[in-house]
Amino acid sequence: MTILAIPSTINLTIASIYKRRSTMNPYSRRQFLQHSLTSGLALAAVSSTVTHSTFAYPRPDKDAVSLAIWSLVRSFRAGVWKLTDMARICREDFGIDGIEYVTSFFEVPVESYLRQLNRNAETHGVKNVLIMVDDEGDMVAKDKKVRMQAAVNHRKWIDIAAYLGCHAIRCNARGGGNTPEDDPEALDRAAEAFGALLDYAKEFQINVVIENHGGLSSAPHWLPQLMKKVDSPHFGILPDYGNYRPTDEADVYRCVELAMPFAKGVSVKAGWNPDGTHPQYDLEKLLKISKNADYFGFWGIESGMRRREQSASAEEVKNDDWQAVRWTKAVIDKVLFGKPE
């Protein structure tokens, strides 16, 4: 029998788990999460502190804009802002209604910290929409023990998403860079691992969505096939306009069309030149394709400016990050809400 390091839901709050840190030598967030997982505590214990009133799917009854905080990664790394600033930034700087978190931005996700994120969101009238989860293992690994452990590793982020009132976590399914033709059994392996994760997620009414984020997931037909195979109402795609690997039979526009019937969010990726041009694809056309697929809900901005030189100041980096978000939002506002640019 394979024994997995399962983070059990036990009668502890997340704050009590972290309380011991004050008597320890400082160590990295990654080291702590790894220690928590192998000791069977992890962050799943936060589920003992939440009630089903927390599990509110924050999908609006009309279209709204959210911000994938990866859009501001350069200014985050430059020390311009912290995660606890994000609700204020969304509302005051951009007039944006939702936050899409990324796991690597959480400083130390103790319960008091998560509670502060909730308070900030409420104060500024924004929704916590989803958490983009990275570096928790290969959900398509050929070794069953590895992929099933990856499914277990993701559970702590289900717990945190529930605590924050998010509707979903975003996962990856790259499959080691293989193509569907190279690895035809990958679909079955992914279905097994994601099925196990969904068994956990559905208890919290949390959706599990996969972004086309390289490898197998960026092939035009692979994620739609996986959705049909698993066939769960809590399973979906987060189509990212910039991450497809087009083929002769499916350009980026066709790739988005294939994904939209399964979409539980949209990642409106935009890579801008400093002069305000967007050369990679027709952003307005992609938004119209998504809208014509009868999608409504959050439209997540994931924007960026073409790289400045590495010597750019923190203020210059911030200006670039902020401008890219504003340009992307202006296109969304024009296409979806009829606002002039």
Statement: residue 304 has pLDDT above 50: yes
CA atoms within 13 A on the CB side of 186: 23
In angstroms, the CA 328 to CA 303 distance is 7
Q: Specify the amino acid at residue 18.
A: Y
Tell me the average pLDDT across 47-66: 60
pLDDT on residue 246? 80
Q: Which helix (H) or strand (E) holds 299?
A: strand 298-305
Statement: residue 101 has pLDDT above 90: yes
pLDDT on residue 32? 36
**Domain extent listing, the chain:** 52-337
pLDDT, tens digit (0-9, with 9 covering 90-100), for 186-218 = 999 999 999 999 999 999 999 999 999 988 999
How distant, in Å, are the alpha carbons of 185, 192, 216, 218 from that of 179? 11, 19, 5, 9
Tell me the average pLDDT across 286-306: 95
pLDDT bracket for residue 27 (50, 70, 90): very low
pLDDT on residue 237? 98
**Least confident piece of the model among 36-50, 184-198, 259-273:** 36-50
- Tokens representing 70 are 């990866």
Tell me the average pLDDT across 130-148: 97
The residue that leads in pLDDT, 47 or 110, is: 110
Tell me the average pLDDT across 122-144: 97
The helix/strand/coil state of 65 is: strand
The helix/strand/coil state of 118 is: helix
Superfamily of domain 52-337: Divalent-metal-dependent TIM barrel enzymes (3.20.20.150)
8, 49, 9: which is closest to 162 by C-alpha? 49
The helix/strand/coil state of 249 is: coil
Statement: residue 325 has pLDDT above 60: yes
Tell me the average pLDDT across 144-170: 97
DSSP 128: E
Statement: residue 21 has pLDDT above 50: no
Statement: residue 254 has pLDDT above 80: yes
80, with CB counted inside 10 A (0-12, 13-18, 19+), is: middle
pLDDT on residue 72? 97
Which residue in this structure is represented by tokens 């080291």? 31
**Least confident piece of the model among 78-87, 222-231, 256-265, 309-318:** 309-318
Q: What is the residue-averaged pLDDT of the chain? A: 85
76, 63, 126: which is closest to 102 by C-alpha? 76
Statement: residue 173 has pLDDT above 90: yes
Tell me the average pLDDT across 309-318: 85
Contacts of 267 (CB under 8 A, 6+ apart): 68, 211, 238, 239, 240, 241, 300, 302
